[in-house]
Structure 1
Amino acid sequence: MDTPDLTGIRIIHRAMRGDLHRLRALAEDLDAGRGRADSARAAAVARYAEDVCAAIHHHHTREDEVVWPVIERSAGAAVDLADLSDDHSELDPLLDRVRTTARAFASGRGVGDLATALRTLSELIDEHIEEEERRIFPVIEKYVPAAEWKEMEKSLRGGDPRFELAWVDRYASPDEMAHIRKLAGPILSLLLILLRPGHRRRQRIVFGS
C-alpha cells in the first residue's frame, strides 16, 4: 500500500500555528506599547484574526466530519480519537472569543483582551497539533490507503481558497512547494502570482512586514 501524502495537512497545521503566534506577538506588543495601531490598522488586524479563525474552524470541522471517519474505518481499534475530538469541542468558544475581542479592538477598545484570547487559542492549537501529528499521522501512514486519502482530501475544500493559498505560499518549504507545484500543475503558479501582491500588502498593514 502506498503511503498517504500528508504534505498538505502538515502545511496547514504549520500555518495555523504560525499565524496565531504572529497575531499573539503583535497583540502583546501593541498592548505593551511596543507598537501603534490607528483605526485602519486595527480593522485590518481584526479582519485578519477573523480569517484565521474561519480557516481553523473549517479545518477542525472537516476533520470531525470527514477525516476522522476515514481513519477510524481504516485503523479500527488501532486508533482512539476521543481526546482530539474533545479538543475540537473546546475550540469553537475560543474562536468566538478571538472574534469578539478582535471586533472590539477594531471599534476602539484596548488590545489586551485580544492578546489574552489569542494566547489561550494558540496554546490549545499548539498542544492539539503536536499530539495529532505525534499519534495520528503514523496511524494514517500505516493504515489509510493512499488513494482513499487523496480522494478524501478533495472533500476538505470549501474554505477561503485565496487565504489558504497565501498560507501555502508563506509556510510551505521549498521542497514542499516543488512537490505541490508538481501535483497541481501550472495553475498553482499562476494563482500565486495573481494573489501574492495583495496578500503582501495586507501583511504589511497588519504585521508591518
Structure 2
Amino acid sequence: MTTATPTRQDDLLGITLGHRAMCADSRRLADLASRIVTGAERVDRARAAAIARWVGRLADEIGHHHEAEDDVLWPVLEARAGDRVDLAALTDDHAALDPLLAEVRAAAGDLARAPTDAAAARALAQHLAALADVLAEHIAEEEREVFPIILAHVPQHEWRAVEAAVRDRGGDMGFVLPRVAAVASPEQMADLRRAAGPVLMVLLPITRRRLRRAEKLVFGGASRL
C-alpha cells in the first residue's frame, strides 16, 4: 500500500510569497497616501489615475485570492481535517474585507477625479491604512491556523491540485508575478524557478519591465521590482 507524500513547508512558498506581496503593497500604498496628505508627495492627474489603477489591481488580487481560498482550498481542508479545522472566522474575515476593498477603490477613484482635493487624499489614506492593518492581521492568523493543517492533513498531490485549480481561475499575472518576485529572497526565487520551470523565466522579465513603468509613476523613486 502506497502512502501519499505529505505537503512540505517548501510547497507553501507560492502562497506565502503571494501573501507577502499583498501585505507589502497595501502598506506601501498606505504610506504613499499618508505622504500625499502631508504634502510630502505631489500628485497630478496622471499620477492620481495611475494610483487608482494600481489600487484597483491590488483590490482585484486580494478578492481573487480570497475567493479561491473559499471555493477551492477550504473544501479540501474540511474534507481532510474535518472538525480539526474551523474556518468560520477566516471566512468572515474575507467577507469583512469586501466593503473595505470597495471603499479603497472608491477613494482612489475620487482622488483620480480630483488630485488636489485634500479630503479625497485623507479618505484614501484612511482606508488604505485600515486595509493594510486588517490584511496583515488576517494573513498572520491564516498562516498560523491553516498552514499546519495543510502540512498535517493534505497530501502533496492534493495541494498541487489546489494550486493548479487556483491558477486556472485566472488572475492578473502581469501584476502578481513581478511583485511576488520582488518580495522573494534569492534562494526563494531559485526555488520558484525550479517549481515553475521555463515559463517563469520567460514571463518574469517581460512583466517586470511593464509593471516597473507603472510603479515609477505611482510610487516614484527607486524601483522595488
Q: Normalised by the size of structure 1, how large is the TM-score? A: 0.97
Identity %: 47
Q: Does structure 1 conserve the Cα–Cα contact (< 8 Å) formed by 2:7 and 2:159?
A: no
Q: 1:155 aligns with which of 141, 150, 165?
A: 165
Separation (CA, whole Å) in 2 of partners of 1:55 and 1:150: 20
Q: Give the stretch that moved more between structures: 177-186 or 59-68.
A: 177-186
- From 120, 134, 138, give the equivalent of 1:128: 138
Instruction: Note if contact 2:107-2:123 (Cα within 8 Å) is conserved in structure 1.
Output: yes
Unaligned runs of 5+ residues in structure 1 are none
What are the Cα deviations for residues 137-176 of structure 1, in whole angstroms up to 9, with x where unaligned? 1111011111000011111121111111122221122111
- Over the aligned positions, Cα root-mean-square deviation in angstroms equals 1.0
Count of equivalent residues: 209
Confirm or deny that 1:76 pairs with 2:95. Answer: no
Q: In 2, distance between residues paired with 1:76 and 1:47?
A: 41
The CA deviation string for residues 63-91 of structure 1, in whole angstroms up to 9 with x for no partner, is 11111111111111111111011101101
Name the residue aligned to 1:207.
Answer: 219
Residues 114-155 of structure 1, C-alpha deviations (whole Å, 9 max, x = no match): 111111111111110010111111111011111000011111
> What secondary structure, in the 3-state scheme, does the structure 2 residue paired with 1:155 have?
helix
Deviation at 1:3, TM superposition (A): 2.1
Does structure 1 residue 17 correspond to structure 2 residue 23?
yes
Q: Residue deviations 1:7-57, cap 9 Å, x none? A: 110001000100000000000000111110111001101100110000000
Q: Which amino acid aligns with 2:145?
A: R
Residue 39 (structure 1) aligns with: 45
One-letter amino acid matched to 1:103: G
In 2, Cα distance between equivalents of 1:185 and 1:136: 27
Q: Show the 5 A alignment for 1:1-209.
A: 1-4=5-8, 5-108=11-114, 109=117, 110-157=120-167, 158-209=170-221
Q: Structure 2: give runs of 5+ residues left out of the alignment.
A: none
Q: 1:2 Cα deviation (Å)? A: 2.4
Distance across 2 between alignment mates of 1:206 and 1:100: 17
Q: Choose 139-148 or 172-181, whichever is displaced more.
A: 172-181
Q: Where in structure 1 do 4 or more consecutive aligned residues deviate above 3 Å?
A: none
Q: What's the TM-score once normalised by structure 2's chain length?
A: 0.90
1:189: Cα distance to partner?
1.2
> Separation in 2 of the partners of 1:152 and 1:196?
26
Q: Letter of the 2:7 partner, please give it.
A: T
**Aligned residues of 2:6 and 2:153 also touching (Cα < 8 A):** no
Aligned 8 A contact 2:36 2:42 in 1: yes
